[in-house]
């Protein structure tokens, strides 16, 4: 089901601008003439004046009707994939057919996908329903949990604090958060904001993620920080985190005297116009157009319960958003909104910090050459180009976002199901915009 996303050809744009001008002119005339009510017209001393006003009203109404008809006739929106064939990788038909086929074959309950450049929405597609227990369709405003893609927001938060000279990347966190004793070795005292955002804290990977899975909240897990095994000095090795990553929220509270959620709302979501996006369980449960989580059991998908504990680690997994919201976020990360995400912030976030080991689903992508983690984003060399990526998964949801800044293009896809299709959607998209055929390569 197509939910929007059109591109008008140049001639169409010119025609639409012309007719829009006529409509605006007609509206202005109509507004002015409409001040003359029938009573006032009848009371005009000059019958020729009354006739003139009546004729003006009639002309305005006819002009409005004519421009509407002409607009519908000549400048109807035309789907992008039928129009933009001027450069390689702009026909997404094959990619979309593959994705639609996977959705149909696997019976995935609901999916939303969008493709953008920095200044244009190229395509939006939605499929299926918000919940297996209802018939309400997914649309571009339907809210999903984006899980670990939330880390890209946390990276922006930290980078903005540094950009604003409120924090420094390489100051030990113990100076700001002296209440915490983290790790089993003295070297962990050297842990910095950069280490947290790049997963180079030197702590055991996925420390206490099992407690989150069991429903234990962040404030309870904090009591066990000193028991997390230190496996290497900070900055020396990579170890993915959810709980420790969420120290970003403590940094915000100590630095800005406001909650992490308030900071994200005021500095990112509201300025970008991400109207349906929120943080936390309340923002998800209280929305009237929300997608339910689904897990596969037996021979069908079933609605799963919501794991609220992951909402307590907001920087790691706390964001809710629609595909419409996430397209804005992708555009911001392509540089479209420098007042919100300045170029220096993006450059910092998207730069490699630590090489990541093999063993992740993306390491199976045939054209992946090298993989790093930056500051809240993964950074790849894929098919000869630099690619920025993050995926996410929490009970009943999967999400994927990928940017190719060199080509000024990004794609986001949200699933309301724990589906393995999410593992393949990014390389399928990248192979569409970065074809291997030398004759087609940009």
Give the mean model confidence (pLDDT) for residues 99-126: 97
Asked if residue 440 is part of any domain, the answer here is no
User: What's the pLDDT at 437?
Assistant: 65
Give the mean model confidence (pLDDT) for residues 192-214: 97
Sign of the CA dihedral running 210, 216, 219, 224: negative
Instruction: Decide which of 256, 277, 292 is a domain's last residue.
Output: 256
CATH number at residue 331: 3.40.710.10
Asked if residue 111 is part of any domain, the answer here is yes
Is there a single domain that holds both residue 295 and residue 378?
A: yes
Instruction: Indicate if the pLDDT at residue 441 is higher than 60.
Output: no
Asked if residue 2 is part of any domain, the answer here is no
Short-list 392, 384, 333, CA closest to 362 = 392
Is there a single domain that holds both residue 288 and residue 233?
A: no
User: Is 149 within 8 Å of 319 (Cβ atoms)?
Assistant: yes
Give the mean model confidence (pLDDT) for residues 348-377: 96
User: Is 200 within 8 Å of 231 (Cβ atoms)?
Assistant: no
Asked if residue 177 is part of any domain, the answer here is yes
pLDDT digits (tens, 9 = 90+) for 153-171: 999 999 999 999 999 999 9
Is there a single domain that holds both residue 246 and residue 289?
A: no
Query: Which segment of 15-19, 249-253, 352-356 scores lowest on mean pLDDT?
Result: 15-19
User: CA torsion angle for 326, 141, 14, 20 (degrees, to 10)?
Assistant: -140
Instruction: Indicate if the pLDDT at residue 137 is higher than 70.
Output: yes
Is there a single domain that holds both residue 309 and residue 197?
A: no
Q: Which residues pair with 404 in a beta bridge?
A: 409
pLDDT digits (tens, 9 = 90+) for 293-347: 999 988 899 999 999 999 999 999 999 999 999 999 999 999 999 999 999 999 9
Is there a single domain that holds both residue 233 and residue 94?
A: no
pTM (2 decimals)?
0.80
Q: Tell me which residue range forms the domain holding 240.
A: 168-256
Confidence band, pLDDT 50/70/90 cuts, at residue 37: very low
Q: What gap in Å lies between CA 218 and CA 216, rounded to an integer?
A: 7
User: Is 421 within 8 Å of 360 (Cβ atoms)?
Assistant: no
Is there a single domain that holds both residue 281 and residue 382?
A: yes
Is there a single domain that holds both residue 266 and residue 234?
A: no
How distant, in Å, are the alpha carbons of 99, 103, 134 from that of 79?
Answer: 18, 22, 30
Is there a single domain that holds both residue 181 and residue 99?
A: no
Is there a single domain that holds both residue 400 and residue 424?
A: yes
User: What's the pLDDT at 380?
Assistant: 98
Instruction: Decide which of 256, 278, 293 is a domain's last residue.
Output: 256
User: What's the pLDDT at 90?
Assistant: 64
Confidence band, pLDDT 50/70/90 cuts, at residue 440: very low
Asked if residue 162 is part of any domain, the answer here is no
pLDDT digits (tens, 9 = 90+) for 268-300: 999 999 999 999 999 999 999 999 999 998 889
Asked if residue 299 is part of any domain, the answer here is yes
Domain count, the chain: 3
Of all residues in the chain, the percent with pLDDT exceeding 90 is 76
Instruction: Decide which of 231, 256, 281 is a domain's last residue.
Output: 256
Is there a single domain that holds both residue 315 and residue 415?
A: yes
| Residue 310, token pair as written in the block | 């992951």
In a 10 Å sphere around its CB, with 0-12 CB exposed, 13-18 middle and 19+ buried, how is residue 8 labelled? Answer: middle
pLDDT digits (tens, 9 = 90+) for 2-33: 333 333 233 333 333 343 344 444 444 434 44
| Residue 86, token pair as written in the block | 């001027």
How distant, in Å, are the alpha carbons of 145, 369, 420 from that of 397?
Answer: 7, 28, 11
User: What's the pLDDT at 359?
Assistant: 87
Asked if residue 20 is part of any domain, the answer here is yes
User: Is 283 within 8 Å of 188 (Cβ atoms)?
Assistant: no
Asked if residue 163 is part of any domain, the answer here is no
Of all residues in the chain, the percent with pLDDT exceeding 70 is 78
């Amino acid at each position: 089901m197509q939910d929007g996303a059109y591109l008008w050809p140049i001639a169409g744009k010119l025609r639409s601008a012309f007719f829009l001008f006529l409509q605006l002119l007609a509206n202005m005339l109509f507004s002015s003439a409409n001040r003359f009510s029938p009573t006032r017209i009848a009371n005009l001393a000059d019958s020729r004046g009354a006739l003139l006003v009546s004729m003006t009203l009639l002309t305005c109404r006819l002009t409005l009707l004519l421009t509407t008809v002409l607009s519908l006739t000549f400048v109807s929106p035309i789907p992008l994939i039928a129009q933009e064939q001027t450069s390689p990788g702009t026909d997404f038909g094959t990619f979309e057919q593959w994705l639609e086929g996977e959705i149909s074959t696997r019976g995935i309950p609901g999916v939303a996908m969008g493709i953008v450049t920095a200044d244009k929405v190229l395509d939006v597609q939605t499929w299926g329903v918000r919940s297996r227990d209802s018939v309400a369709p997914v649309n571009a405003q339907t809210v999903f949990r984006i899980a670990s893609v939330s880390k890209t927001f946390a990276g922006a938060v930290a980078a903005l604090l540094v950009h604003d000279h409120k924090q420094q990347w390489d100051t030990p966190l113990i100076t700001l958060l002296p209440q915490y004793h983290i790790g089993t070795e003295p070297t962990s005292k050297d842990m910095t904001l950069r280490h947290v955002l790049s997963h180079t804290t030197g702590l055991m990977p996925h420390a206490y993620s099992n407690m989150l899975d069991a429903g234990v909240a962040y404030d309870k897990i904090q009591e066990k920080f000193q028991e997390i095994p230190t496996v290497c000095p900070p900055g020396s090795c990579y170890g993915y985190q959810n709980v420790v990553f969420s120290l970003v929220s403590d940094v915000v509270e100590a630095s800005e005297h406001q909650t992490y959620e308030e900071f994200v709302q005021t500095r990112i979501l509201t300025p970008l116009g991400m109207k349906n996006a929120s943080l936390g369980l309340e923002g998800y449960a209280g929305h009237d157009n929300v997608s339910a989580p689904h897990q596969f059991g037996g021979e069908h998908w079933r609605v799963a319960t919501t794991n609220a504990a992951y909402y307590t680690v907001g920087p790691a997994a706390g964001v809710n958003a629609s595909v419409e919201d996430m397209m804005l976020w992708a555009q911001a990360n392509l540089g479209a909104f420098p007042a919100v995400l300045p170029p220096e912030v993006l450059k910092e976030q998207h730069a490699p910090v630590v090489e990541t080991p093999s063993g992740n689903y993306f390491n199976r992508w045939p054209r992946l050459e090298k993989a790093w983690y930056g500051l809240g984003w993964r950074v790849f060399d894929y098919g000869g180009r630099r690619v920025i990526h993050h995926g996410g998964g929490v009970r009943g949801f999967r999400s994927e976002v990928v940017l190719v800044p060199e080509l000024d293009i990004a794609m986001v896809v949200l699933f309301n199901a724990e589906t393995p299709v999410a593992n393949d959607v990014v390389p399928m998209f990248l192979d569409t915009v970065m074809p291997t055929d030398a004759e087609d390569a940009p």
